[in-house]
């Protein structure tokens, strides 16, 4: 069997996720046995100009040039994987939407797009069709491997719609709230095996919120720890700002 051709591309991001892949170690060798990496900025330089079986995209879409580029990649790829919070949910780059949305018309990325140099930060799926999502900032390497296996087997991957607490309790961590520290686990999508908490950190919500978070109750819980409402809002928005673009879209239609 011919090995599938896989390419990695990055947009606006810190390239931390590529680093995660480059650091996969032994697993990486196994992966390289099954795929052909044709473009990977972090570790290779040669350019491939034919089609890709799988394109792996990192980073969010923040300007015209990026929109054009991602569209071209999509055309040339059979399967497109968005990985990392920037690509899957807009991530931290979405924070800019808070400041600039006043200046940029909400409809800017439609017909008059070319008059503007910058566009609101968008997740990749807000521009082109995405087949697989690997959330996280950075990605959780075992999940990336799971998704890669799904892509190679032609199976859909469903990002868990349970919250991080589920995995956290299964790992028998002491709850951060019992330590008197706040944690975004109860509203954040699972799938990372709660690795931050396993390593003594709080969950800062990098995988984005579950589809139906109980935000009100989560705010109540947080507020018992004497945190101001603004801070709570910021905490929740840090990775989830780009959700609003979808909401606006829905309102329009």
Place of tokens 């968008």: 122
The residue written with tokens 């997740």 in the block is 123
Q: Are the C-beta atoms of residues 10 and 18 closer than 8 Å to each other?
A: yes
* 21-60 footprint of another protein as x/- string (CB under 8 A): ---------xx-xx--------------------------
| H or E element that contains 7 | strand 5-10
- How many Å apart are CA 29 and CA 130, to the nearest integer? 26
Task: Return the residue nearest ligand SF4 (CB atom).
Answer: 185
C-beta closer to ligand SF4: residue 20 or 194: 194
- C-alpha 187/C-alpha 209 separation (Å) is 5
What is the closest distance, in whole angstroms, from the C-beta atom of residue 208 to ligand SF4 in the complex?
A: 8
Taking the C-alpha atoms of residue 85 and residue 105, their distance in angstroms, rounded to an integer, is 25
> What character string, x for contact with another protein (CB under 8 A) and - otherwise, covers 133-172?
------------xx--x--xxxxx-x--xxx-xx--xxxx
User: Least Å distance between CB 48 and ligand SF4?
Assistant: 31
- Report in angstroms how near the CB of residue 58 gets to another protein at its nearest: 21
Helix axes of 229-240 and 215-223: crossing angle, nearest 10 degrees: 130
Partner interacting with residue 227 (select from ligand SF4, another protein, none; CB below 5-8 Å by kind) = none
Strands of the chain (E only): list them.
5-10, 36-39, 52-58, 61-63, 77-83, 118-122, 132-134
Taking residue 99's Cβ as centre, other Cβ atoms within 10 Å add up to 8
- With CA atoms as reference, report the closest residue to 221 among 183, 179, 190, 164: 183
Question: How many of the chain's residues bind another protein (CB under 8 A)?
Answer: 40
Q: Which does 159 bind (CB under 5 to 8 A by kind): ligand SF4, another protein, none?
A: none
Near another protein by CB under 8 A, which window of 56-64, 87-95, 175-183, 241-249?
175-183
Binding site for another protein (CB under 8 A): 30-31, 33-34, 145-146, 149, 152-156, 158, 161-163, 165-166, 169-175, 177-179, 185-187, 210-212, 214, 216-218, 220-221
């Amino acid at each position: 069997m011919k090995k599938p051709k896989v390419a990695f591309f990055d947009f606006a991001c810190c390239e931390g996720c590529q680093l995660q892949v480059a650091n996969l170690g032994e697993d990486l060798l196994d992966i390289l046995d099954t795929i052909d990496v044709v473009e990977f900025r972090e570790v290779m330089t040669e350019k491939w100009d034919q089609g890709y079986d799988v394109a792996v995209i990192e980073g969010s879409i923040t300007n015209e040039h990026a929109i054009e580029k991602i569209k071209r990649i999509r055309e040339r790829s059979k399967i497109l994987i968005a990985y990392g919070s920037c690509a899957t949910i807009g991530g931290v780059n979405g924070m800019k939407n808070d400041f600039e949305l006043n200046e940029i018309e909400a409809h800017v990325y439609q017909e008059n797009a070319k008059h503007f140099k910058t566009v609101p930060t968008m997740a990749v799926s807000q521009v082109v069709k995405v087949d697989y999502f690997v959330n996280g900032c950075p990605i959780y390497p075992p999940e990336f491997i799971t998704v890669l296996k799904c892509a190679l087997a032609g199976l859909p991957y469903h990002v868990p719609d349970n919250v991080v607490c589920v995995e956290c309790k299964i790992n028998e961590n002491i709850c951060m709230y019992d330590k008197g520290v706040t944690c975004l686990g109860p509203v954040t999508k699972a799938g990372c095996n709660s690795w931050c908490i396993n390593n003594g950190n709080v969950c800062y919500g990098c995988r984005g919120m579950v589809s139906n978070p109980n935000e009100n109750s989560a705010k109540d819980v947080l507020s018992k720890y004497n945190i101001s409402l603004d801070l709570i809002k910021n905490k929740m928005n840090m990775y989830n700002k780009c959700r609003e673009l979808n909401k606006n879209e829905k309102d329009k239609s």
